Amino acid sequence: MVPGVAGAWQRCFHLVRLHLDAGETLPTTAGEVVRQGEDLGRWVTTVRHGWDHLTGVQQWMCEQILGIEPVTEAEKPKPRTSQMDIRLVSAVADQILVHASRKAFRRAGSAD
């Protein structure tokens, strides 16, 4: 992990912990709570969505100390479908249909 990134993670973790220790609720929306220039809601959201990229210790700290859990399957964003993906699927479907119709035509022609 890049040292600056690790330091930023620890800083945000500490700021969220102080926020919770002050009796506040866990921020879950970007822009909801900003402390010392850090957007705590954005950090919590990023941690939840990037759960698999955290170390085991970071996951434990987030769960046990801050009460943060990874996103559920329902919360995960759906993968984007590009126009190229749509065209590729369409082309493959067309080829399958052409192949199937040729195969059917050959069978019909050999039945005579």
Whether the model clears a pTM of 0.85, i.e. scores above it, the answer is no
- Per-residue pLDDT tens over the stretch 73-82: 887 777 776 7
Dump the DSSP string for the chain.
--HHHHHHHHHHHHHHHHHHHTTPPPP-STTS-EETTEEHHHHHHHHHHTGGGS-HHHHHHIIIII---PPPTTTSPPPP--HHHHHHHHHHHHHHHHHHHHHHHHHHHHT-
Task: List the chain domain ranges.
Answer: 3-66, 79-112
Burial class of residue 47, CB neighbours in 10 A (0-12, 13-18, 19+)? buried
Q: Which two tokens stand for residue 107?
A: 């069978």
**Which residue's structure tokens are 């993968």?**
79
Q: What residues does 64 pair with on adjacent strands?
A: none
- Per-residue pLDDT tens over the stretch 39-98: 999 999 999 999 999 999 999 999 999 999 999 888 777 777 677 777 777 777 778 877
> With contact defined as beta carbons under 8 Å apart, do 46 and 73 qualify?
no
- Per-residue pLDDT tens over the stretch 8-37: 999 999 999 999 999 999 999 999 999 999
